Amino acid sequence: MITAAMSSPIFSDAVQNSVFQVLSEGSLKTVARPLFTLVDKNGTPESRKYSAVKEFVFQTLSLLFYFVLVRSLVEQKGYKLIKKVLENKPDFKILKNHATRDSFMEARSLALKSGIESEEAKFIHPKGAIEALNILGSGIILTILAPKVVMQMVHPTMKQVDKLFNKEKAAKEQKNGDVFQKSETKS
């Protein structure tokens, strides 16, 4: 089973897809991190609640930012920038043949499937430059811009969470009170 899972070409195709990568990891973190923060016994309940809500909001917003800003802005505009700056350099000449990122990526995957090493080599440096710019762009958007928005959203979200839990608590207390009253009237 482990060998089948680890050698699955379908799974590795999925893993190479950045949307799958980000979505899977992001959703796991969105659930796991706040849960572990809430069960931690070291902080005060208020601190843990603040940290868990912040983590949840941050992970959710990061996913949103990734699809809205990174995928559409950084990846597409970044490719054009790299093409403009590097296409005349010796290792990056393949960029001249591809106007868009999609066409470049398609040509690269065909070259990888062909198995010809010289063909694959043409794509290595441009792909690396694209990846480097993606990492830089994602880093700036997800770690500098996103936290600023998160900080604006944490306290309203905490209030909503409080309201929700207080409602439940109040309803429970009322229910307990009703039961007590009934038992008293019976007796």
Residues in contact with another protein by the rule CB under 8 A:
1-16, 21, 24-25, 28-29, 32-33, 35-37, 39-44, 46-48, 50-51, 54, 58, 91, 115, 123-129, 131-132, 134-135, 138-140, 142-144, 147-148, 150-151, 154-155
Closer to another protein at the Cβ: 63 or 138?
A: 138
Dist CA 58 CA 147 (whole Å): 7
Closer to another protein at the Cβ: 5 or 187?
A: 5
Element (H, E) at 35: helix 18-39
Dist CA 99 CA 49 (whole Å): 49
Nearest approach, Cβ of residue 12 and another protein (Å): 4
Nearest approach, Cβ of residue 178 and another protein (Å): 36
Nearest approach, Cβ of residue 99 and another protein (Å): 20
CB 76, CB 101: distance < 8 Å: yes
Closer to another protein at the Cβ: 8 or 160?
A: 8
Dist CA 91 CA 25 (whole Å): 33
Dist CA 66 CA 124 (whole Å): 24
Closer to another protein at the Cβ: 36 or 165?
A: 36
Nearest approach, Cβ of residue 59 and another protein (Å): 11
Nearest approach, Cβ of residue 83 and another protein (Å): 14
Closer to another protein at the Cβ: 9 or 187?
A: 9
Dist CA 71 CA 63 (whole Å): 11
Give the phi and the psi of residue 163 in degrees, each rounded to 5.
-60, -45
